[in-house]
A and B are shown apart, each in its own frame.
Chain A
Amino acid sequence: MLLRDVGYARPGTTDEALGLLAEHEGARPLAGGQTLINVMKARAAAPDVLVDLNGIDELKGIELGSDGTLEIGPMTTTSELIASQEARARPILSDVCSQIADVQVRNRGTVGGNICSSDPTNHLPPVMVAIGAELTIAGPSGERTVPAHEFFLGVYMTAVGPDELLTKITVPPGRSDGFASVAVGRDGTCIVNAAASANGELRVVLGCVSAVPEVVRPNAADPEAVRTAVRAVSLQPPGDVHASSDYRRALAEIVAVRAATQAAERAGG
């Protein structure tokens, strides 16, 4: 497929990348490209300049702090996260990353890319909100940190502005998490998904039912309490070829219960 004509730059540092994004109107960061290259083929996106982040080592790698906090470089690939010893401190991360697409896509696709593309069917946005991740954004006026529940603004829209970059994902310690989905085939796109975390207050976060991850706070992890909490948020999910709005709403209750049960079981163990 022939893409629209585009300029290409491969900076070696975050500062250089931010400079390029600021200097060039219509510039867009290129992470793993497993979404962006495809949408460029369809010309649903047609950036004038691609700022390739693959040469920036400071955006890669996972560090585990002495208090159990993980700092994940957004350009870490999903395969690298799955293989990371450090990332085992928060097991849900590799559990969910290993459910994304296939080997080739996981080898190239990045954690930050899955988050920043903010496709409502992506796996990681609900996980980030459920586990209370914090996202560090760098831009021309410096750095700021945004909690995951304020990060996702709409379909394909996040708190990261056109001249900014996600530079760090900070994940607090915890093991009592769950994730469940109904997908198109075993490894396909999610029709509905849910992440849950029972580290402290139980939080269940639904994906695919709204433009942004939908937070539900059941007062207990038992199925009836979770179902009641999901009903209370009055979801109006989109309908498509895979599931009508009503069916997706019904599935949302089921995956919410499964994710919450898993999180609660891990809390008990």
Chain B
Amino acid sequence: MEGGRAAPAGTSRITVEINGTTYEREVEARRLLIHLIRDDLDLTGSHVGCDTGNCGACSVILDGTLVKSCMLLAVQVDGASIETVEGLADGELSPLQQAFSDHHALQCGYCTPGMLMSATALLRENPRPSDEEIATGIQGNICRCTGYWNIVKAIKSASGQEVGE
């Protein structure tokens, strides 16, 4: 995300680091970030749910900040560092992912990659969130299966707090 690019271009060569791997690609200015991630780089963990910025299934962490990758252009991440759901597990599931499994925090799983990225961003900023703070942390992620409660439990449990039945 460094430097200026003064002349308008329809296509640009960008360099971006995703989950520790550096990629260089030629992208059209009109290409959304989620399509660079899924279609060009084959990192299909991040999902396209609504494609209108509502559902949060495409959430990724861009230079430490949680964003929805369907509302950014791929050219905007030139020089940036991105984390997607593929970066969470290191051989085995991360404690957060394990908590999602233990607490049945998913049914169809479509929203899960986005939920995991939102929860990851939340727990970095707030290691022991209250239920209310968790609800705010995932307010940009829609789940149509679980009714959210098991997701809140999983996030709370991953933060090392007691979770009731």
Q: A residues within 8 Å of B by Cβ?
A: 1-13, 16, 20, 24, 27, 33-34, 37-38, 41, 49-52, 54-55, 79, 101-105, 107-108, 186-187
Contacts and interface: CB of A to CB of B under 8 A. Distances in A.
Interface of B: 1-10, 12, 28-30, 32, 51-53, 56, 59, 65-68, 70-73, 75-76, 118, 121-122, 136-137, 139-141
A34 B8 CA distance: 21
Contacts of B136: 103
Given A8-B12, A16-B6, A54 B1 contact: yes
Label chain A's interface by main secondary structure. Answer: mixed
Contacts of B5: 8-11
B29 A108 contact: no
Given A20-B6, A38-B52, A105-B140, A52 B76 contact: yes
Contacts of A50: 8, 29, 73
Label chain B's interface by main secondary structure. Answer: mixed
B72 to A, nearest CB: 6
A10 B3 CA distance: 8
Given A103-B121, A104-B68, A105-B68, A55 B1 contact: yes
B4 A49 contact: no
11 contacts: A1-B51, A4-B30, A5-B28, A8-B75, A12-B3, A38-B71, A41-B52, A102-B140, A105-B71, A107-B67, A186-B139
Contacts of B1: 54-55
Nearest to A79: B65
A187 B70 CA distance: 20
Nearest to B52: A38
B72 A37 contact: yes
Contacts of B32: 1, 3, 37
A45 B140 CA distance: 24
